[in-house]
Structure formats: structure tokens, C-alpha cells
């Protein structure tokens, strides 16, 4: 069996080229026997191209390249032709077809797909984090979070956590109840990334009554009484004062408004 060497050359990490090469080689050698696939990532100039082509010539290797810039593709093509190296341009022909079809010029920026993938996974990680550390389930998450929310019940802590998670922020939230001491981790959190959510007693009374009715319960339960609500808010004020964090009034704010307010403060503090 004849040995096969393939050099994958890229201005990014080279994953796309390597996947394609492996898919092709597998059609001939499912176990990749007598086959070497070598990646050359982050190629930025002609000198690097010349060096790779010289190595490929010495080792009788094929070159498969994914280079976003047209001038870099031309340099690679020229060097391979001069040295009689068999090569395949994976991106160039497809870029040209799309350009002709839509009449737009390509950005010619390396690694855009990889950046999108990273962004996607950061979002998924943030969403999973918000679910895991929702409603004070695990206080250890407070010290790992980008944003910590505290407030009494029905101040939109959970929907706000999820909204911020979709903006790639890891969020933990803690409900404050007078009968339960807040976790000690809460007082170790940087006050600049902690936000107390407060709401007017009148508005909270309406929201809680509607919640009880939706659950099929009597709306005159202690949970919705004004006295209980004032007691909870007084407890909330003591806790946030001890933390030293900012307090945001969410009485007449949509979740998006509160989220944007928090994001602006977080980015300003950075």
C-alpha cells in the first residue's frame, strides 16, 4: 500500500480542511492505514507558505488549504505549481460561486465559523448555568457567576436570568425569605456584579394574587397579603445593604429593560 501524506493549511485552526480530508481518505482507507494528515494552522504570510510547500515537496505530500484571503490562495496556488505539488483549494471555488450569485464581496476574514461556534457554545453554557443555579439551588454557583440576582418572590429573577444567559452571561439568582438566612457565599460575591431587584408592594400584591389564582388557589393567602410583602421587602433591604450592591426597581420595567440596565452597568464596571 502506498503511503499518503496530506498537509492541511489554514489561516484559522484548520478544522474544516481536516474534516474534509478525513472524509475523503476514509473512502479509500477507513482505518487511515499508511496515512499521515498534518495540520498547519494560523498561516499569515508568504514565507510560511513557501516553507510548507518545501516540506511538502521533500515528503511527497498533498496540500489541501482553506485560506480566506484571495491573495493568500493565489500565493499558495503559485508555489504549489512551481514545485509540482498537487493541491486543492477548498474555499476559493465556493467563495467565487457565492460571490457571483449574490453580487457581494467576501469579508476575507479568517476563522469566522470558529468564532460563531465559540459564541454558540458560550450561549449554551450560560443557559445551562442559569438553570443549574436558579432559585438558590446551589450557592456554590454564586462565586462562579458573571451576574448574581437577589430579590423576593415574583420579581422576575428566573426570566431575567434566562434573558441574560442568552446574552452569554452566567447568572445565579437567590430568593430572599425572612425565615431563611441567605447563603454565606452571597456576601462573598463582588458587589459590582450583584443586583437587588425590588418592586412596589402594590404591584407585587397584584402579581402574587394572579399567581395564586393561576395555580387554582385562594388569592387571600398570606403569600399575597400586604403585611407579608412589606416584611419580605424589609428583609430584602437589610440583605442588599449588607452586600452593598446596586438595587434596580423593576416595578414597571420589562425584563428586556432590566437586562439592558444590568448589562450596561456590568460593562461599565469592566
Confirm whether residue 25 is marked as ligand binding: no
pLDDT at 233 over 80: yes
Which residue blocks in the chain are alpha helix, DSSP H? Answer: 15-25, 46-59, 70-82, 92-102, 112-132, 157-165, 201-214, 226-243, 255-269
CA 20 to chain centre: 26
Confirm whether residue 103 is marked as ligand binding: no
Confirm whether residue 66 is marked as ligand binding: no
Model pLDDT, residue 121: 86
Confirm whether residue 171 is marked as ligand binding: no
pTM: 0.62
Which residue blocks in 83-111 are alpha helix, DSSP H? Answer: 92-102
Confirm whether residue 155 is marked as ligand binding: yes
CB 160 within 8 A of CB 255: yes
Confirm whether residue 151 is marked as ligand binding: yes
pLDDT tens readout for residues 51-84: 999 999 999 999 999 999 999 999 999 999 999 9
Confirm whether residue 157 is marked as ligand binding: yes
Domains of the chain in sequence order: 4-109 (3.40.50), 114-269 (3.40.50)
Confirm whether residue 258 is marked as ligand binding: no
Calpha distance 110→17 (Å, rounded): 13
3-class DSSP string for 7-35: EEEECCCCHHHHHHHHHHHCCCCCCCCCE
Amino acid at each position: 500500500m502506498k503511503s499518503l501524506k496530506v498537509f492541511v493549511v489554514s489561516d484559522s485552526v484548520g478544522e474544516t480542511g481536516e474534516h474534509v480530508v478525513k472524509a475523503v481518505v476514509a473512502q479509500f482507507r477507513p482505518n487511515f492505514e499508511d496515512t499521515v494528515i498534518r495540520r498547519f494552522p494560523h498561516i499569515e504570510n508568504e514565507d510560511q507558505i513557501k516553507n510548507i510547500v518545501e516540506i511538502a515537496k521533500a515528503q511527497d505530500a498533498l496540500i489541501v488549504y482553506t485560506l480566506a484571503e484571495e491573495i493568500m490562495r493565489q500565493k499558495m496556488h503559485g508555489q504549489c505549481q512551481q514545485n509540482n505539488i498537487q493541491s486543492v483549494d477548498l474555499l476559493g471555488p465556493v467563495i467565487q460561486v457565492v460571490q457571483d450569485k449574490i453580487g457581494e464581496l467576501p469579508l476575507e476574514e479568517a476563522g469566522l465559523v470558529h468564532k460563531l461556534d465559540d459564541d454558540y457554545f458560550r450561549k449554551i453554557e450560560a443557559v445551562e448555568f442559569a438553570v443549574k443555579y436558579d432559585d438558590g439551588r446551589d450557592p456554590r454557583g454564586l462565586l462562579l457567576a458573571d451576574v448574581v440576582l437577589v430579590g423576593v418572590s415574583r420579581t422576575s429573577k428566573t426570566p431575567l436570568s434566562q434573558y441574560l444567559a442568552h446574552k452569554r452571561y452566567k447568572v445565579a439568582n437567590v430568593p430572599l425569605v425572612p425565615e431563611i438566612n441567605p447563603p454565606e457565599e452571597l456576601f462573598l460575591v463582588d458587589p459590582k456584579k450583584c443586583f437587588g431587584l425590588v418592586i412596589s408592594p402594590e404591584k407585587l400584591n397584584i402579581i402574587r394574587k394572579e399567581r395564586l389564582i393561576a395555580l387554582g388557589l385562594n388569592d387571600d393567602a398570606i403569600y399575597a397579603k400586604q403585611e407579608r410583602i412589606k416584611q419580605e421587602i424589609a428583609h430584602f433591604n437589610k440583605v442588599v445593604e449588607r452586600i452593598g450592591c446596586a438595587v434596580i426597581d423593576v416595578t414597571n420595567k420589562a425584563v428586556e429593560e432590566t437586562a439592558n440596565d444590568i448589562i450596561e452597568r456590568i460593562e461599565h464596571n469592566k
